[in-house]
Amino acid sequence: MTLNPDGKHVGEKHKNYWVSGSRDKWAYVPEEITGPWNRPVDVWNQFCVEAHLRHIGTMQALVVQRTFL
């Protein structure tokens, strides 16, 4: 968990933001980002919507490789 300068805990999934004097020490939980870790394209698209960004390009889906010892 992340701890904000005011002592309040923020979830494991969080986004930092800039505050003058505290730099990027503050964080919040982006409720709009709900995709699981293994769906990075979905998470990226949700991030872009939440941050009001437009992504021009392509992003490949995650390829999970198994390793055998």
**Which amino acid is it at 10?**
V
> Please, which pLDDT band fits residue 57 given cuts at 50, 70 and 90?
very high
Question: Distance (Å, rounded) from C-alpha 52 to C-alpha 1?
Answer: 26
Residues 4-47: tens digit of each pLDDT: 999 999 988 888 888 888 888 899 999 999 998 889 999 999 99
pTM exceeding 0.85: no
Structure tokens of 37?
Answer: 């870790």
User: Residue 16, SS3?
Assistant: strand
Choose between 64 and 30: higher pLDDT. Answer: 30
Structure tokens of 54?
Answer: 């437009």
For the chain, what are the domain ranges?
2-50
